[in-house]
Amino acid sequence: MGTSTKYQVIDPVNGLLDRRIFSDAGIYQEELEKVFGRAWQMIGHESLIPNPNDFFLTYMGEDPVILTRDAKGEVHAFLNMCRHRGNRIVRADDGNAKNFMCSYHGWTYSNEGKLVSVPGLQEAYYGELDVDSLGLVSVAHLDIYAGIVFATWASDAPTLKAYLGDARWYLDTQFNRRDGGMQAYGPMKWTQPVNWKAPVDNSSDNYHVAITHLGSAIVQSQALGRPRTSHEGLFKSPAKHLSVNGHGLTFRMMEANEPRRGHGVTKYNLHLFQEYQQDTLPEVERRLGSFRAQHVQLGNHSLFPNGVLGFRLALPQGPLQTEFWHFSLVDKEAPEEIKRALRTGSQGNNGAAGMFEQDDIDNWRQVSESGRSPVARRYPQDLSMGVGHASIHPDYPGMVSERYISENNQRNYYARWQEFMNAESWADIHIDPITASFEGTAGMRG
């Protein structure tokens, strides 16, 4: 087919990575087209537009996108660009509106994307403007997984179900547990002087946790009674890494009735979380089957191309600038106390003021900038940890690493990026077959 070999940036055999992909302006421009122009991307959550005529302003790569729910309840996504001269139609972050009027000359579009009003259509345009062909530019496909809205500009993209593939078997254990779905709070937004790929690859990097986050972990363990992280604990952990279609996931195998861990759980409220877990277990078992309900807990993870630790986005704004959007997602039907603990826990760790987030940003900045010097560029990044120690597992779908601490997912992420950058179309991009058995009643839509 049309695959080129222009990009040979990652060597999967020795794990060496070309640093220029973090800082080169030409590579960045090509990413906007070849990665963000064709990948499925998370753009919002159904709970952010719960009512007819709600809208939410979002991004795909650098392109502003309006996510709308029309009067009939159907969800759409359009490029936020007036077809006349290119002004942005929507300036507010979110709201409720049937129509959007461009503030330059007043062309007005419905929330279904139709051009419904043009000042001077007869007087100035002689009735000759082809109004029907000048609706808002729509994404090629939009689909929803467990309330999370995804879209792609590529008409030849595979289905979202195929794109997520076996990753969904693990994602379900966090995002698809309850009949009532999840509620998104946010986003909290801030800019970071980092390349957008650095936080994504870091999502599967548990190697850094005991060093980078040592101070934050000590504070949390003293104030909240959360367990300390140590190299010893991480290296011995039976948790695992796995990779599917460039998505990098980590998960923990749990004993029956073992408490689920997460940000927001402290020694003071652990009993509340355990009660909630017990109370909801029959529903979760019905939805996910008892194996996943009881024994699998999703850990840190990324979704290709720019999803970081769940429904959180690294939006590119240049090779060395990323706008970060932090949301927290909680079960809609959880007790208020649990929701509050999860929200504050999520922000305390990973929001703009999150202690762990701040620890991380300086690392990402230095990794991103290391490709700027011609001398530094002669020395590739070393991602060789665990080469040859990942395989198909009998119980857990995906390409699963033998050990928790591994760079298996990072190698696969950059190999996926390279595949996108070299491909002419989706025909040149492989999709792993779905092999997982999805027990229970939970489906793509919830």
**Binding interface with ligand FES (CB under 6 A):** 82, 84-85, 87, 102, 104-107
Q: Pick from ligand FES, Fe ion, none: which does 104 bind, CB < 5 to 8 A by kind?
A: ligand FES
Please, which residue, 121 or 253, has the CB nearer to ligand FES?
121
Please, which residue, 85 or 231, has the CB nearer to ligand FES?
85
C-alpha 442/C-alpha 423 separation (Å) is 34
CB of 137 to ligand FES, least distance (A): 13
Please, which residue, 106 or 215, has the CB nearer to ligand FES?
106
Residue type at 202 in one-letter notation: N
Residue type at 350 in one-letter notation: N
Q: Are 117 and 142 in contact (CB under 8 A)?
A: no
- The two beta strands, 141-145 and 148-152, are antiparallel
CB of 69 to Fe ion, least distance (A): 35
CB of 440 to Fe ion, least distance (A): 32
Q: Pick from Fe ion, ligand FES, none: which does 269 bind, CB < 5 to 8 A by kind?
A: none
Contact between 357 and Fe ion (CB under 5 A)?
no
Q: What is the 3-state secondary structure (H, E, C) of 202-262?
A: HCCCCCCHHHHCHHHHHHHHHHHCCCCCCHHHHHHCCCEEEEECCEEEEEEECCCCCCCCC
Please, which residue, 168 or 213, has the CB nearer to Fe ion?
213
CB of 128 to ligand FES, least distance (A): 17
**Ordered DSSP codes for 74-125:** -EEEEES--TTT---S--SSEEE-SEEE-TTT--EEETTS-EEE-TTTTTTT
Sheet architecture: strand order including 141-145: 41-45, 148-152, 141-145
CB of 101 to ligand FES, least distance (A): 8
C-alpha 213/C-alpha 395 separation (Å) is 32
The three-class DSSP label of residue 356 is: helix
Residues 6+ apart with CB under 8 A from 67: 43, 44, 48, 49, 55, 56, 57, 58, 75, 76, 77, 149
CB of 133 to ligand FES, least distance (A): 16
Q: Which residue is nearest to Fe ion (CB)?
A: 360
Under the phi-then-psi rule, with left for phi > 0, alpha for psi from -120 to 50, and beta for the rest, what region is 269?
A: alpha
CB of 89 to ligand FES, least distance (A): 7
Closest CA to 360 of 190, 184, 173, 175: 190
Please, which residue, 112 or 360, has the CB nearer to ligand FES?
112
Q: How many CB atoms lie within 10 A of CB 107?
A: 23
> Beta partners for 65?
58, 79
Please, which residue, 129 or 281, has the CB nearer to ligand FES?
129
Q: Pick from ligand FES, Fe ion, none: which does 360 bind, CB < 5 to 8 A by kind?
A: Fe ion
Q: Pick from ligand FES, Fe ion, none: which does 31 bind, CB < 5 to 8 A by kind?
A: none
Measured CA to CA in angstroms, residue 164 lies from 37, 171, 240, 286, 403 at distances of 17, 9, 19, 22, 23
CB of 120 to Fe ion, least distance (A): 56
Q: Pick from Fe ion, ligand FES, none: which does 274 bind, CB < 5 to 8 A by kind?
A: none
CB of 273 to ligand FES, least distance (A): 51
Binding mask 250-289 for Fe ion (x = CB under 5 A): ----------------------------------------
C-alpha 378/C-alpha 20 separation (Å) is 10
Q: Pick from ligand FES, Fe ion, none: which does 379 bind, CB < 5 to 8 A by kind?
A: none
Please, which residue, 108 or 321, has the CB nearer to ligand FES?
108
Please, which residue, 126 or 437, has the CB nearer to ligand FES?
126
Q: How many CB atoms lie within 10 A of CB 215?
A: 10
Please, which residue, 78 or 107, has the CB nearer to ligand FES?
107
Please, which residue, 24 or 360, has the CB nearer to Fe ion?
360
Q: What token pair was written down for 119?
A: 């000042």
- Count residues near Fe ion (CB under 5 A): 1
CB of 204 to Fe ion, least distance (A): 11
Phi, psi dihedrals of residue 328, rounded to the nearest 5°: -115, 140
Contact between 360 and Fe ion (CB under 5 A)?
yes
Half-sphere exposure at residue 265, Cβ-oriented, CA atoms within 13 angstroms:
13
Where along the sequence are the contacts to Fe ion (CB under 5 A)? 360
